[in-house]
Amino acid sequence: MVEVEPSLGKGVANDSSMPSSFSRPKSVNIGALFTFNSVIGRAVKPAIAAAVDDINSNSSLLEGTTINLIFHDTNCSGFLGTMEALQLMEKDVAIAIGPQSSGIAHVISHVVNELHVPLLSLATDPTLSSLQYPYFLRTIQSDYFQMYAIADLVVHYGWREVVAIFVDDDYGRNGISVLGDALAKQRAKISYKAPFPPDASRNDINDLLVEVNLMESRVFIVHVNPDSGLSLFSVAKSLGMISNGYVWIATDWLTSVLDGSGPVDPGTMDLLQGVLALRHHTTDSVQKHSFMSRWKKLKYVGNSSINAYAFYAYDSVWLAASALDSFLKQGGNLTFSSDPVISGSVLNSSLRSLRGGQKLLQTLLGTKHMGLSGDIQFDAEKNLIHPAFDILNIVGTGSNKIGYWSNYSGLSLVTPEILYLKPANKSSSRQQLRSVIWPGQVSKTPRGWIFPNNGKPLQIAVPNRVSYKQFVSADKDPPGAQGYCIDVFEAALKLLPYPVPHNYVLYGNGIRNPEFDNLVYDVAENKFDAAVGDITIVTNRTRIVDFTQPFIESGLVVVASVRKVNSSAWAFLKPFTVQMWCVTGSFFLLVGAAVWILEHRINSEFRGPPSQQLITIFWFSFSTMFFSHRENTLSTLGRFVLLIWLFVVLIINSSYTASLTSILTVQQLSSRIEGIDSLISSNDPIGIQDGSFARDYLVRELNIAESRIKSLKNQEAYLDALQRGPKNGGVAAIVDELPYVQVFLSYSNCNVQIVGQEFTKSGWGFAFQRDSPLAIDLSTAILQLSENGELQRIHNKWLMTGDCSSQSNQAEETRLSLKSFWGLFLICGITCFMALSIFFCRVCYQYSRYAPEVVSQDEIEAAEPVRSRRLSSTSFKDLIDFIDRKEAEIKDFFKRKNSVESSRSQASRSYSLDRDSSSPT
């Protein structure tokens, strides 16, 4: 159907024969291509007509050139829409507006590319790329941004899986494809895609939703056509799917229906209670409200109401008019000429290309316009700037706006226009929305998934162990398996707020332990829903499955045969390490020497011949160990050093006594293998458990030759291999996980022991398929079991072991090293250094005063009858001699020196007076 506005005159029809000095045309043809009997069409038609009327009545725009509007109806048909599009292009339109259909938009985009006619489209299909279609300009926000808004919404509420329900056409498929990409970037996914044909009947939709309802996910994303979308919610309501636990998120089609339908029937609103919907965000302005107030007075309105598409359609016409005005003012020529490509084809030769189309396109891209929807301006990728959406919650007879989404700042409670004035911030702490009333009239955010209601219980693989059956084993009675791991799993399931039907499937032949890597791989390959047992969480397994929170700590240890260590004649040396002995002895000598230096000048007990003084130093040093030193300390500095040292000796003696007592009274065990390092350096065979990850770890991580590794079946094989040893076909040690080893120690009556330290850290968890929400819920349940003590109770029930020492190298552990005492030695060393520094500073000061220039030789000899020397010498030997002198002699010398100097001063003053009195007057 073709409609031409009769009042707008005749369109331009020029050919290449016209002169180059073409004047401004009286009218310009603009085409509008929509399905007018549709939700979108009924809104855009009056908006486009109103825009044309407003422009033609505006004397400042186009300056005498009027717009001739040509309507073509696509009749909601791909074939008819394509034919209508071709007929529209025969009218020599300078700019085309529309279509709304993605399928028709793809076809007509090829046509406008050939004819060089810009197309301003309201199709939201994200695959309509400006790279492929240069003349395609989208004057509404792309579904690319809408899908990223939905992805942010999904992640905001903590959901990780959604079900996509969409119409199976270009619009639906391409939009959902982008949604999948957007979710993947946030580690979420579409767990199930549910397409239906555009002409689907109610029965088709019913069958589809019944199938969807069997899925785990309860988050449904609905991306359908506006004209048929409500029927989907009608069927969902009849199936009880608009109720507690369900989440429905609709794209902008739903708000287009609700906004464009006038007063909505209460029955329709009842279908949508709790649904979240997106709507294209338009700026709240006076211009927008003015247009809305005169909506009912416009042509073609009928019973339709205004929606976002009407705003964008109105702005599209104004954008076209503004660009045409600029184009004509710049001397642009709107002429059409025959296209040789089309003329030589089977198409109608009346299709002609626009000669100035490229320039007009560039003018459109550079045009800026403030419209009803906001800023109309294209970015570098030919998309409208500032993509944003309103997020609505359908409640009662209307909707609540719970927030906004913008590509600039993500989810927010503040309008995007305000956020554009601030620095962009998409941090998770800034993502906020108002409270939501969900389906079922509940305010608590739904979990987003439930156990699938398809009557099929979970198939859970359980290792069919032949050893260490305390952890997991087959059971003739229901549920078919028993053990520590099974009890933990069943206890965790009881804490879940929903039932989880499940069956245990034994994995393995029952002759040897199964390969746990293969078990995990089968879960990843969907052969089983989960695996429950003593499954170690290691890196290569976490790459293919999801594990729960560990329910028991684990790690590899080395187990070896041990022998009793009898006490020896040198047992008294064992409490300290060699380093500790050396440092302690050094400090005995250091402190002894320091005290001797500090006491030598004032204490006669620290004087005498050199040999006697050396003996005194050694005797005093080591006698402090027993607090039996006979020498008295007289100097303040010496007493201070000795006080600190005696405190250190007290701590060392106490520690030595305690360690020696432990070594002599506790039974000691020793092994030729001291830990994983000594095991690696040897060439002896190493035993591991069947199916354990230890083989790969030893070979790949520790570079142990695989020929050295022997797989052992059970505890009997463990004990036998260790007792025979490497020379008799056994093994030097066994590498296994700590929970197994603790059970094995009791089995062996403590004849074997753990040597060295645990050299890996890991844990056991339950394995589920990737992104299984059950893994998350069970992790929470396991934490609850740990907090309430139930996990320990289950451990005590199955894994109570005998009282075996877990370490054989107790002697090594009880030996005291310098690490435990270096702080004490540091304090003592600093004390000695400070005391000696003060002492030598005092001596140097005395020595600087010890100058004999003013003292006669006779006086010095009288003062020092024992020793005579040339005191003016300042050699190092003199300094040492000075230090060696008694403190009392030095003080006595200074006293005599002061007396002599005083006498000389008095004689000098008397002599001066005598001279003054004898001189003539």
State mean pLDDT over 670-680.
79
Please say if the pLDDT value at position 754 is more than 90: no
pLDDT at 201: 92
Q: Are residues 262 and 399 in the same domain?
A: yes
pLDDT at 608: 65
Please state, in angstroms and rounded to a whole number, the distance separating the CA atoms of residues 323 and 419: 29
- Residue finishing a domain among 665, 689, 711: 665
What pTM was estimated for this model as a whole? 0.68
pLDDT, averaged across the chain: 84
- The answer to which of 349-353, 429-433, 556-560 has the lowest mean pLDDT is 349-353
Q: Are residues 272 and 153 in the same domain?
A: yes
In which domain, by residue range, is 651 found? Answer: 571-665
State mean pLDDT over 414-438.
90
pLDDT at 879: 62
Q: Which amino acid is at 582?
A: C
pLDDT band at 650 (very low <50, low <70, confident <90, very high): confident
Per-residue pLDDT of 477-518, as tens digits, reads 888 999 999 999 999 999 988 888 899 999 998 888 999 999
Q: Are residues 228 and 299 in the same domain?
A: no
pLDDT band at 855 (very low <50, low <70, confident <90, very high): very low
Please state, in angstroms and rounded to a whole number, the distance separating the CA atoms of residues 176 and 170: 10
Q: Is the dihedral of CA 477, 480, 483, 487 positive or negative?
A: negative
Please state, in angstroms and rounded to a whole number, the distance separating the CA atoms of residues 4 and 32: 10
Examine residue 724 and state whether it is found in any structural domain, yes or no. Answer: yes
pLDDT band at 21 (very low <50, low <70, confident <90, very high): very low
Q: Are residues 749 and 699 in the same domain?
A: yes
pLDDT at 862: 46
Q: Which amino acid is at 802?
A: G
Please say if the pLDDT value at position 531 is more than 60: yes
Q: Are residues 276 and 396 in the same domain?
A: yes
Examine residue 880 and state whether it is found in any structural domain, yes or no. Answer: no
Query: At 350, which helix (H) or strand (E)?
Result: none
Please say if the pLDDT value at position 451 is more than 80: no
User: How far, in Å, are 592, 596, 612, 874 from residue 615 at the CA level?
Assistant: 11, 11, 5, 31
Please say if the pLDDT value at position 872 is more than 70: no
Is the distance from CB of 279 to CB of 389 less than 8 angstroms? yes
Per-residue pLDDT of 532-547, as tens digits, reads 999 999 999 999 999 9
Please state, in angstroms and rounded to a whole number, the distance separating the CA atoms of residues 150 and 153: 5
Question: Which three-class secondary structure state does DSSP give residue 138?
Answer: strand
Q: Are residues 599 and 699 in the same domain?
A: no
Per-residue pLDDT of 277-306, as tens digits, reads 999 999 999 999 999 999 999 988 888 889
Output the six-digit token pair for 662. Answer: 């432990």
Number of domains in the chain: 5
Is the distance from CB of 739 to CB of 745 less than 8 angstroms? no
Is the distance from CB of 72 to CB of 87 less than 8 angstroms? yes
Q: Are residues 294 and 157 in the same domain?
A: no
State mean pLDDT over 48-52.
94
pLDDT at 214: 87
Examine residue 847 and state whether it is found in any structural domain, yes or no. Answer: no
- The answer to which of 458-462, 488-492, 655-659, 717-721 has the lowest mean pLDDT is 655-659
Using only the alpha carbons of the chain, give its radius of gyration. 48
CATH code, domain with 113 = 3.40.50.2300
Q: Where are the beta strands (DSSP E) in 23-167?
A: 27-34, 66-73, 95-97, 119-121, 136-138, 161-167
pLDDT at 95: 94
Per-residue pLDDT of 238-279, as tens digits, reads 999 999 999 999 999 999 999 887 777 888 899 999 999 999
The residue that leads in pLDDT, 116 or 85, is: 116
- Side-chain half-sphere of 879: how many Cα atoms within 13 Å? 10
- Residue finishing a domain among 665, 687, 715: 665
Residues in contact with 241: Cβ distance below 8 Å, sequence separation at least 6, in sequence order: 209, 213
Q: Is the dihedral of CA 461, 464, 468, 470 positive or negative?
A: positive
Output the six-digit token pair for 784. Answer: 């609850």
The residue that leads in pLDDT, 79 or 848, is: 79
Examine residue 508 and state whether it is found in any structural domain, yes or no. Answer: yes
For residue 850, what is the DSSP state?
-
pLDDT at 349: 61
Please say if the pLDDT value at position 687 is more than 90: yes
Output the six-digit token pair for 588. Answer: 């005995």
Examine residue 563 and state whether it is found in any structural domain, yes or no. Answer: no
Is the distance from CB of 572 to CB of 600 less than 8 angstroms? no
pLDDT at 545: 95
Examine residue 866 and state whether it is found in any structural domain, yes or no. Answer: no
Q: Are residues 753 and 791 in the same domain?
A: no
pLDDT band at 352 (very low <50, low <70, confident <90, very high): confident
- The answer to which of 10-19, 377-386, 705-714, 835-844 has the lowest mean pLDDT is 10-19
Examine residue 7 and state whether it is found in any structural domain, yes or no. Answer: no
Q: Are residues 272 and 402 in the same domain?
A: yes
Please say if the pLDDT value at position 343 is more than 90: no
pLDDT at 426: 82
Q: Are residues 710 and 722 in the same domain?
A: yes
State mean pLDDT over 196-224.
93
Q: Are residues 752 and 777 in the same domain?
A: no
Q: Are residues 756 and 654 in the same domain?
A: no
Please say if the pLDDT value at position 158 is more than 50: yes
Examine residue 58 and state whether it is found in any structural domain, yes or no. Answer: yes
pLDDT at 918: 57
pLDDT band at 912 (very low <50, low <70, confident <90, very high): low
The residue that leads in pLDDT, 117 or 131, is: 117
CATH code, domain with 711 = 3.40.190.10
Please say if the pLDDT value at position 904 is more than 90: no
